[in-house]
Amino acid sequence: MARDDTTAAFKALKLKLGHTFADDSLLATALTHASALDPADAGRGSYQRLEFLGDRVLGLVVAAMLHTHFPRADEGELARRFNQLVKRETCAEIATELNIGAAMRIGQSEAQTGGRKKGALLADMCEAVIAAIYLDGGFSAAEAFVRRIWEPRMLSFRGPLRDAKTTLQEWAQSRGLPTPRYDVLSREGPDHAPEFVVGVTVLGLPRGEGQGGSKRIAEQAAAEAVLRREGVWNE
Protein backbone atom coordinates (compact mmCIF):
# COMPACT_ATOMS: atom_id res chain seq x y z
CA MET A 1 0.00 0.00 0.00
CA ALA A 2 2.82 2.39 0.84
CA ARG A 3 4.29 1.78 -2.61
CA ASP A 4 0.98 2.60 -4.29
CA ASP A 5 0.68 5.78 -2.25
CA THR A 6 4.19 6.80 -3.23
CA THR A 7 3.48 6.11 -6.91
CA ALA A 8 0.31 8.17 -6.75
CA ALA A 9 2.19 10.99 -5.03
CA PHE A 10 4.94 10.79 -7.66
CA LYS A 11 2.40 11.16 -10.48
CA ALA A 12 0.64 14.00 -8.67
CA LEU A 13 3.93 15.83 -8.20
CA LYS A 14 4.78 15.53 -11.90
CA LEU A 15 1.50 17.25 -12.74
CA LYS A 16 2.20 20.06 -10.27
CA LEU A 17 5.68 20.60 -11.68
CA GLY A 18 4.25 21.34 -15.11
CA HIS A 19 7.11 19.58 -16.89
CA THR A 20 6.79 16.40 -18.94
CA PHE A 21 9.83 14.29 -18.14
CA ALA A 22 11.50 12.34 -20.89
CA ASP A 23 13.42 10.49 -18.17
CA ASP A 24 11.40 9.90 -15.00
CA SER A 25 14.47 8.44 -13.31
CA LEU A 26 15.89 11.94 -12.89
CA LEU A 27 12.90 13.00 -10.82
CA ALA A 28 12.98 9.71 -8.94
CA THR A 29 16.61 10.33 -7.98
CA ALA A 30 15.79 13.87 -6.88
CA LEU A 31 13.24 12.41 -4.46
CA THR A 32 15.42 9.59 -3.12
CA HIS A 33 17.02 9.81 0.31
CA ALA A 34 20.17 7.85 1.10
CA SER A 35 18.24 5.89 3.73
CA ALA A 36 16.25 4.22 0.94
CA LEU A 37 19.39 2.90 -0.77
CA ASP A 38 22.10 0.37 -0.15
CA PRO A 39 25.16 2.09 1.36
CA ALA A 40 27.17 1.46 -1.83
CA ASP A 41 24.61 3.38 -3.91
CA ALA A 42 23.91 6.23 -1.49
CA GLY A 43 26.55 8.58 -2.90
CA ARG A 44 25.28 8.71 -6.48
CA GLY A 45 21.75 7.36 -6.18
CA SER A 46 20.35 9.92 -3.76
CA TYR A 47 19.20 13.51 -4.24
CA GLN A 48 22.40 15.10 -2.94
CA ARG A 49 24.30 15.62 -6.21
CA LEU A 50 21.17 17.03 -7.84
CA GLU A 51 20.59 19.35 -4.89
CA PHE A 52 24.08 20.80 -5.43
CA LEU A 53 23.24 21.55 -9.07
CA GLY A 54 19.70 22.74 -8.43
CA ASP A 55 20.89 25.29 -5.88
CA ARG A 56 23.00 26.95 -8.59
CA VAL A 57 20.25 26.87 -11.20
CA LEU A 58 17.78 28.40 -8.74
CA GLY A 59 20.26 31.11 -7.81
CA LEU A 60 20.90 32.09 -11.42
CA VAL A 61 17.22 32.28 -12.35
CA VAL A 62 16.28 34.25 -9.24
CA ALA A 63 19.19 36.66 -9.71
CA ALA A 64 18.13 37.27 -13.32
CA MET A 65 14.52 37.87 -12.27
CA LEU A 66 15.56 40.39 -9.65
CA HIS A 67 17.88 42.18 -12.07
CA THR A 68 15.00 42.56 -14.53
CA HIS A 69 12.20 43.48 -12.13
CA PHE A 70 14.09 45.92 -9.90
CA PRO A 71 16.25 48.06 -12.23
CA ARG A 72 16.70 50.81 -9.61
CA ALA A 73 17.70 48.54 -6.72
CA ASP A 74 21.30 48.66 -5.59
CA GLU A 75 23.40 45.56 -4.99
CA GLY A 76 22.53 45.44 -1.30
CA GLU A 77 18.78 45.45 -1.90
CA LEU A 78 19.11 42.84 -4.64
CA ALA A 79 21.14 40.64 -2.29
CA ARG A 80 18.56 40.91 0.47
CA ARG A 81 15.69 40.09 -1.88
CA PHE A 82 17.74 37.21 -3.26
CA ASN A 83 18.43 35.75 0.18
CA GLN A 84 14.73 35.82 1.03
CA LEU A 85 13.84 33.90 -2.12
CA VAL A 86 16.50 31.19 -2.06
CA LYS A 87 16.80 30.55 1.67
CA ARG A 88 15.95 27.09 2.94
CA GLU A 89 12.75 28.22 4.63
CA THR A 90 11.36 29.46 1.30
CA CYS A 91 12.40 26.29 -0.53
CA ALA A 92 10.83 24.18 2.23
CA GLU A 93 7.57 26.15 1.98
CA ILE A 94 7.47 25.57 -1.76
CA ALA A 95 8.25 21.88 -1.31
CA THR A 96 5.34 21.64 1.13
CA GLU A 97 3.00 23.35 -1.34
CA LEU A 98 4.07 20.88 -4.03
CA ASN A 99 3.65 18.00 -1.55
CA ILE A 100 7.16 16.74 -2.23
CA GLY A 101 7.17 15.01 1.15
CA ALA A 102 4.55 12.52 0.04
CA ALA A 103 6.63 11.59 -3.01
CA MET A 104 9.91 11.16 -1.16
CA ARG A 105 11.62 7.78 -1.30
CA ILE A 106 13.02 7.34 2.19
CA GLY A 107 13.93 4.47 4.47
CA GLN A 108 11.66 3.33 7.26
CA SER A 109 13.80 4.79 10.02
CA GLU A 110 13.91 8.20 8.35
CA ALA A 111 10.15 8.10 7.80
CA GLN A 112 9.53 7.23 11.43
CA THR A 113 11.50 10.27 12.58
CA GLY A 114 9.39 12.62 10.46
CA GLY A 115 11.64 12.79 7.43
CA ARG A 116 8.81 13.73 5.09
CA LYS A 117 8.24 16.93 7.07
CA LYS A 118 11.82 17.95 7.85
CA GLY A 119 12.37 21.48 6.56
CA ALA A 120 16.02 20.97 5.60
CA LEU A 121 15.27 17.79 3.64
CA LEU A 122 12.25 19.35 1.92
CA ALA A 123 14.36 22.35 0.90
CA ASP A 124 17.17 20.18 -0.45
CA MET A 125 14.83 17.98 -2.45
CA CYS A 126 13.09 21.06 -3.84
CA GLU A 127 16.44 22.16 -5.27
CA ALA A 128 17.12 18.62 -6.49
CA VAL A 129 13.82 18.69 -8.40
CA ILE A 130 14.94 21.88 -10.13
CA ALA A 131 18.11 20.11 -11.21
CA ALA A 132 16.10 17.15 -12.49
CA ILE A 133 14.02 19.48 -14.65
CA TYR A 134 17.19 21.21 -15.85
CA LEU A 135 18.90 17.96 -16.84
CA ASP A 136 15.78 16.62 -18.51
CA GLY A 137 14.57 19.69 -20.37
CA GLY A 138 17.45 22.15 -20.37
CA PHE A 139 17.81 25.57 -18.82
CA SER A 140 14.65 26.98 -20.40
CA ALA A 141 12.52 24.30 -18.74
CA ALA A 142 14.10 24.89 -15.34
CA GLU A 143 13.81 28.65 -15.76
CA ALA A 144 10.12 28.38 -16.64
CA PHE A 145 9.46 26.30 -13.53
CA VAL A 146 11.36 28.61 -11.19
CA ARG A 147 9.73 31.70 -12.64
CA ARG A 148 6.25 30.23 -12.30
CA ILE A 149 6.75 29.27 -8.66
CA TRP A 150 9.14 31.94 -7.33
CA GLU A 151 8.09 35.06 -9.24
CA PRO A 152 4.80 35.59 -7.34
CA ARG A 153 6.77 35.46 -4.08
CA MET A 154 9.27 37.93 -5.43
CA LEU A 155 6.60 40.42 -6.45
CA SER A 156 4.53 40.09 -3.27
CA PHE A 157 7.39 40.33 -0.76
CA ARG A 158 6.82 43.12 1.74
CA GLY A 159 9.36 42.25 4.41
CA PRO A 160 12.31 44.34 5.59
CA LEU A 161 14.98 44.90 2.96
CA ARG A 162 17.67 46.27 5.23
CA ASP A 163 20.51 44.02 6.26
CA ALA A 164 19.61 42.39 9.60
CA LYS A 165 23.16 42.40 11.01
CA THR A 166 23.66 46.07 10.16
CA THR A 167 20.26 46.99 11.60
CA LEU A 168 20.94 45.10 14.83
CA GLN A 169 24.36 46.72 15.22
CA GLU A 170 22.93 50.20 14.68
CA TRP A 171 20.07 49.46 17.09
CA ALA A 172 22.50 48.24 19.77
CA GLN A 173 24.81 51.22 19.32
CA SER A 174 21.89 53.65 19.57
CA ARG A 175 21.31 52.24 23.06
CA GLY A 176 24.95 52.49 24.05
CA LEU A 177 25.48 48.74 23.82
CA PRO A 178 28.59 46.98 22.49
CA THR A 179 28.66 45.46 19.01
CA PRO A 180 26.68 42.18 18.92
CA ARG A 181 28.82 39.02 19.08
CA TYR A 182 28.17 36.04 16.79
CA ASP A 183 29.18 32.47 17.65
CA VAL A 184 28.77 29.26 15.66
CA LEU A 185 26.78 26.90 17.89
CA SER A 186 26.77 23.91 15.57
CA ARG A 187 27.58 22.75 12.06
CA GLU A 188 25.97 19.67 10.54
CA GLY A 189 25.51 18.09 7.13
CA PRO A 190 27.90 17.22 4.30
CA ASP A 191 30.49 19.68 3.00
CA HIS A 192 28.44 20.53 -0.08
CA ALA A 193 25.30 21.28 1.95
CA PRO A 194 26.24 22.32 5.49
CA GLU A 195 23.75 23.63 8.03
CA PHE A 196 25.01 26.19 10.54
CA VAL A 197 23.36 27.33 13.75
CA VAL A 198 24.67 30.69 14.95
CA GLY A 199 23.93 32.57 18.15
CA VAL A 200 24.10 36.34 18.53
CA THR A 201 24.63 37.99 21.90
CA VAL A 202 23.61 41.56 22.65
CA LEU A 203 24.57 42.73 26.12
CA GLY A 204 21.65 42.44 28.51
CA LEU A 205 19.40 40.47 26.13
CA PRO A 206 18.68 36.76 25.70
CA ARG A 207 20.70 35.14 22.95
CA GLY A 208 19.14 34.99 19.49
CA GLU A 209 19.69 32.02 17.20
CA GLY A 210 19.44 31.43 13.48
CA GLN A 211 20.32 28.73 11.00
CA GLY A 212 21.28 28.58 7.36
CA GLY A 213 23.41 26.98 4.70
CA SER A 214 26.35 29.30 5.44
CA LYS A 215 27.63 31.19 8.47
CA ARG A 216 26.64 34.47 6.84
CA ILE A 217 23.04 33.38 6.28
CA ALA A 218 22.81 31.94 9.79
CA GLU A 219 24.16 35.18 11.27
CA GLN A 220 21.57 37.18 9.36
CA ALA A 221 18.83 34.84 10.60
CA ALA A 222 20.04 35.18 14.19
CA ALA A 223 20.10 38.98 13.95
CA GLU A 224 16.62 38.97 12.43
CA ALA A 225 15.35 36.77 15.27
CA VAL A 226 16.50 39.36 17.83
CA LEU A 227 15.10 42.28 15.84
CA ARG A 228 11.69 40.61 15.64
CA ARG A 229 11.72 39.54 19.27
CA GLU A 230 12.53 43.09 20.41
CA GLY A 231 9.86 44.58 18.14
CA VAL A 232 12.31 46.45 15.91
CA TRP A 233 11.01 44.56 12.87
CA ASN A 234 7.29 43.86 12.82
CA GLU A 235 6.70 42.92 9.19
Which residues participate in catalysis according to the annotation? 55, 127
State yes or no: 124 annotated in a binding site. yes
Helix H, strand E, coil C: the string for 13-31 is HHHHHCCCCCCHHHHHHHC
Residues 117 and 27 sit within 8 Å (Cβ to Cβ): no
Cβ(216)–Cβ(200) below 8 Å: no
d(CA 37, CA 123): 20
Report whether 51 belongs to an annotated binding site. Answer: yes
The answer to whether the annotation marks 110 as part of a ligand binding site is no
What gap in Å lies between CA 224 and CA 216, rounded to an integer? 12
- Nearest of 14, 11, 18, 9 to residue 148 by alpha carbon: 18
Give residue 86's Cα distance to chain centre. Answer: 6
**How far is it, in rounded angstroms, from Cα 138 to Cα 182?**
41
Residues 77, 188: Cα–Cα separation, whole Å: 30
Known binding positions for Mg(2+)? 51, 124, 127
Known binding positions? 51, 124, 127
